[in-house]
Structure 1
Amino acid sequence: MEQIRQYFESEFRITPSDWEVFSSKLSRHVFPKKSKLLQMGKVENHLSFIEKGIVRLYIPLKDGELTFGFVFSGAFVSAYDSFLTQKPSEYVVETITDTVLWRLGHKELQEVYASSNIGNLIGRKASEELFLKKSKRELSLLRDSAEQRYLNLFDERPELLREIPLKYIASYIGVTPQALSRIRRRIS
């Protein structure tokens, strides 16, 4: 919990009383790799902060999967559209590695909003972070080549890419595993 507290102190200058309200609603969960945090068709009821691990978001297809996001430690993760609307998710949220999450339920977040000065700021920051990741991804798909998308992902967290299977990376940048192998050979 110390990592999330440091994050909130650096981002929001959270007061001890606001931290007490917020932290009392958090629960720590440990998930082994390949755990489905949310199944497609289920409603997202958690906003989670990743203490340790990597999570991916993907759409199951008849002939495979389409990975559209990776979230690393020190960041929020959620099927946020489902969380906000309380409607079924159109995608899956799954751990890639052993993962530790600090989770806040939808109901508990509403209580934090109502009972602390910092609640709305925390909610806004989480929303902004998730929105910016989504926008960055969309722009990359529109303007960057698959090779550039691979290099961008490699620049973001190179130490963690060793833990992401190449088939997920290929799906994320929009190519087959074979095409990713060619990209990797070209740039090495």
Structure 2
Amino acid sequence: MRFTFPYEFASGYDSFLAKTPSAYQIEALSDSILWTLNEENLQPFYKHTEAGNKMGRILSEKLYINKCKRLTSLLTESPEERYTHLMSEQPRFIQLIPLKYIASYIGIIPQALSRIRRRIY
């Protein structure tokens, strides 16, 4: 699970690269504009435009870094630390996300998140 916010890129990039169906889905929690892209459209964009090639590299690097940060967070931080980091990174938007999704994101059940929130506030 990952949250993206306005002007961020969301993707099932692993399944795109492997050319396999995704094991997960992308769900919009608010009004969104979505563009879809398949390999048939993307490869010529990469191949024939320098900007396309650069943009593809930058987006894939960002996705990789985000995935590494997420894994490191899950392995080294407590759920309370993950929650406080999420709150400090996106405080305005995090209020729009249902608590059950936040709990799932930080790897706990909603009741444990309620206890964390009581301790913090």
Match of residue 119, structure 1, among 52, 61, 72: 52
Tell me if 1:153 matches 2:86.
yes
Q: Which amino acid aligns with 1:161?
A: I
Q: Which amino acid aligns with 1:81?
A: D
Could you tell me which runs of 5 or more consecutive residues in structure 2 were left unpaired when the two chains were aligned. none
Shift of 1:86: 1.2
Deviations along 1:59-100, one digit per CA (max 9) or x if unpaired, are xxxxxxxxx211111211110001112111111111111111
CA distance, structure 1, for counterparts of residue 18 and residue 75 of structure 2: 27
Taking structure 2 as the reference length, the TM-score comes to 0.94
Identity of aligned residues (%): 51
Residue in structure 2 matched with residue 76 of structure 1 by the alignment = 9
Deviations along 1:121-166, one digit per CA (max 9) or x if unpaired, are 1110110111111111000001100000001111111000111000
Count of aligned pairs: 121
RMSD: 1.1
Taking structure 1 as the reference length, the TM-score comes to 0.62
Residue in structure 1 matched with residue 62 of structure 2 by the alignment = 129
Map 1:53-92 → 2, pairs under 5 A: 68-92=1-25
User: Is contact 1:150–1:173 with CA below 8 Å preserved after alignment?
Assistant: yes
Larger helix percent: 2
Residue in structure 2 matched with residue 64 of structure 1 by the alignment = none
Residue in structure 2 matched with residue 93 of structure 1 by the alignment = 26
Residue in structure 2 matched with residue 172 of structure 1 by the alignment = 105
Shift of 1:102: 3.7
CA distance, structure 2, for counterparts of residue 88 and residue 100 of structure 1: 22
Deviations along 1:30-75, one digit per CA (max 9) or x if unpaired, are xxxxxxxxxxxxxxxxxxxxxxxxxxxxxxxxxxxxxx21111121
User: Is contact 1:76–1:129 with CA below 8 Å preserved after alignment?
Assistant: no
CA distance, structure 2, for counterparts of residue 72 and residue 86 of structure 1: 26
User: Is contact 1:170–1:176 with CA below 8 Å preserved after alignment?
Assistant: yes
Larger strand percent: 1
Q: Which runs of 4+ in 1 moved over 2 A?
A: 101-106
